[in-house]
Every structure is written in structure tokens, then in C-alpha cells.
Amino acid sequence: MQKCDWCSSEKIKAVTDKVYWELPDGSKAIQINGTPAIHCLDCGMTYQTDSIIKEIEDQLFLINTTSLERELSFEELMAQPRLLKRNYFDFSS
């Protein structure tokens, strides 16, 4: 069973939330609505898993961010056409 990353409680649930993300070039921040998240019923924290964070960061490296609106949904962000097939700057895998 998955536990809260903050307090280790097992009382968590999957939710969606809005997040704010700075673009890799630092030109602006965007609001991403409907982002998958975890909410802890004990400590009240709402956060994104490491895999969702990586998914967002990889996508922002791989798309043309100049045309992004300041606010969009997670689905809209992930549907943006990629300029590269994968993040060649990620050496973690």
C-alpha cells in the first residue's frame, strides 16, 4: 500500500489539483489544471508523485513552450506535439 510522502500515513487518495510550473527557459510560469496528485487525509498535504513531476518536466523540455498559454490542463500539456522523442538531457535512467 502506498503511503504519504510527508507523514507516512496510509490514508491517502488520488486527486487532481492545479500546479504552477516555471518553464525550463525561465521565461514564464504556467498554471497546469487537473494535474494528478496525492492528497493525505491525515496531514492534509496534496502533492505530485515523482513520476508525474518527471512527466511534466520531460514534456516541457520536449515541446515548443513559446506558444503555451499561461493556463492549460494537464491533458492539454501532455498532448502538445514533441520536438524530440525523449529527453536526451535526462541521465537518470
What is the per-residue pLDDT for 86?
65
Instruction: State which residues form the domain around 23.
Output: 12-78
Residue 84 counted as domain residue: no
Q: 20 vs 34, 62, 73, CA distance in Å?
A: 12, 18, 11
- Give 15 or 89, the one with higher predicted confidence: 15
- Distance of alpha carbon 63 from alpha carbon 12, whole angstroms: 33
Mean per-residue pLDDT, 31-46 = 98
Residue 86 counted as domain residue: no
Residue 90 counted as domain residue: no
What is the number of domains present in the chain?
1
For 60, other C-beta atoms within 10 Å of its C-beta total 20
Residue 2 counted as domain residue: no
Residue 32 counted as domain residue: yes
Residue 38 counted as domain residue: yes
What is the per-residue pLDDT for 17?
97
pLDDT digits (tens, 9 = 90+) for 1-27: 799 999 999 999 999 999 999 999 899
Residue 71 counted as domain residue: yes
